[in-house]
Amino acid sequence: MQHFYVIVSSYSEITKNEYIDPRTAPVAIVDHVNQICTKVRPANDEELPSLYIEEYRNALDAEIQIYVSESYPKGISAVNCVKGKDTEGPGSDFEFVVIITAMRLSPQNFCNGSWRSVWNIDFQDESQVLDIKGKLQVGAHYFEEGNVELDAKKDFQDSTIFQSADDCAIAIANIIRHHETEYLAALEVAYSKLPDNTFKDLRRKLPVTRTLFPWQNTLQFSLTREVEKELGLGNISDIISVVSCVFILLKREKSSDAENRTRVSWVKDGYPNRWTTSDLMSEDLKQNSCSKF
C-alpha cells in the first residue's frame, strides 16, 4: 500500500472533511475529533487543475521538495493552486500557495520544536510579475526544570518576473530559500544572546527609585541622620558601638539573675526607688565603657 502525506489546511480543503494531496491527487477523508484518516478516494477531474496550471505547479513542487529535503529533516511540503486552476493558457492570473511544515518532538530531552511557512505566489499575467508573500512561524518549547516557550513570527514580501514553468520554479524556490535561511540565521544569533541579554532583562536592574544604592555615602538616608541626631554620633562606627551595647543589654535581660528580673518597668509606680528598664540600660551601657553616651 502506497503511503502519502496530506497537509490539512484551508488551502487543500475540498469539503468540510476532505483534503487533497496535489502531488499524487488522492483525497483524504479526515475525522477531526479522533484526528485520523478514515478513508481515501481518488480526486475527480473537477477537483484537479488544468494541464497548463499543473505544469507550473508540478515544476514548483519539485524544486520545493529538493529544498525541504536539504533543509528540514522530516519536513513536508505541498503546492496548492488556490485561484485560477481552470486556466487553460496564458492570458489569465492564477495563484499558488506553498506550505512547508516540520516538527521535531523530543520529550525525553524536554524539548519540542516546529516550523511552518506559507508562501503565496500571485502570477500576474498582464504585468508579467510574480508577487511573493510569505509568513513564517517558529515554535520551540523547553521544559526541563522550567517552562520556556518561543513563538516567533515573520512576514516577507518579494517579487520576480513571469517566465517559463521551470524558470519560475527555480526563481521562487531560491527566493524562499534565501528568506528562510536568513531568518534561521537570525534566530540562531538571538538564541546565542539569550543568556547575556534577554534573560538578564527579565530582572530589575535598578530599584524603584531608578538609582543605585550609594554604599559609599549612607549618611544621606533619614534613618542614619535620625540615629546620629538622637545619639550625638559622628560616624557609622559609633552606630556599630551602640548596637553592640544594646545587644549586650538584651542578652543580660534574658539571664536568670534574680536582681535583674525584679528591676522591670511595671514596678515604677508602686516603688519609685526601684530601677526601671531604662535605668538599667543606662547603667549597663556605662559599665560596658560606652563613654560616648
Which pLDDT value is given to residue 187? 86
In a domain, 273, yes or no: yes
In a domain, 239, yes or no: yes
In order, the DSSP letters of 113-168 are EEEEEEEEEEEETTTTEEEEEEEEEEEEEE-SSS-EEEEEEEEEEEEEE---HHHH
Domain boundary among 141, 173, 200: 200
In order, the DSSP letters of 33-45 are TTTEEEEEEEPPG
In a domain, 3, yes or no: yes
pTM higher than the cut 0.85: no
Mean pLDDT by 10 residues, the chain (293 residues): 79 91 91 90 91 95 95 92 92 95 90 94 94 94 82 93 95 96 89 72 66 65 61 56 55 50 46 47 48 39
Is residue 4 located within the same domain as residue 121? no
Domain boundary among 31, 48, 65: 48
Is residue 110 located within the same domain as residue 33? no
67 touches 177 (CB < 8 A): yes
In a domain, 206, yes or no: no
39 touches 79 (CB < 8 A): no
Look at residues 151, 122, 158, 119 and name the one whose alpha carbon lies nearest to residue 135: 119
Which pLDDT value is given to residue 248? 56
CA distance 258 to 263: 9
CA distance 187 to 97: 25
Cα–Cα distances in angstroms (integers) from residue 81 to residues 18, 50, 94, 207, in the given order: 16, 10, 8, 58
Look at residues 168, 21, 158, 36 and name the one whose alpha carbon lies nearest to residue 94: 168
CA distance 168 to 125: 13
Number of domains into which the chain is organized: 3
Task: Quote the crossing angle between the two packed helices 222-231 and 236-253, to the nearest 10°.
Answer: 70
In a domain, 207, yes or no: no
Query: Domain range spanning residue 30?
Result: 1-48
Is residue 165 located within the same domain as residue 111? yes
Is residue 26 located within the same domain as residue 103? no
Is residue 175 located within the same domain as residue 79? yes
Q: What's the chain's length in residues?
A: 293
Look at residues 44, 40, 50, 51 and name the one whose alpha carbon lies nearest to residue 18: 40
In a domain, 208, yes or no: no
76 touches 68 (CB < 8 A): yes
Is residue 67 located within the same domain as residue 160? yes
CA distance 1 to 143: 39
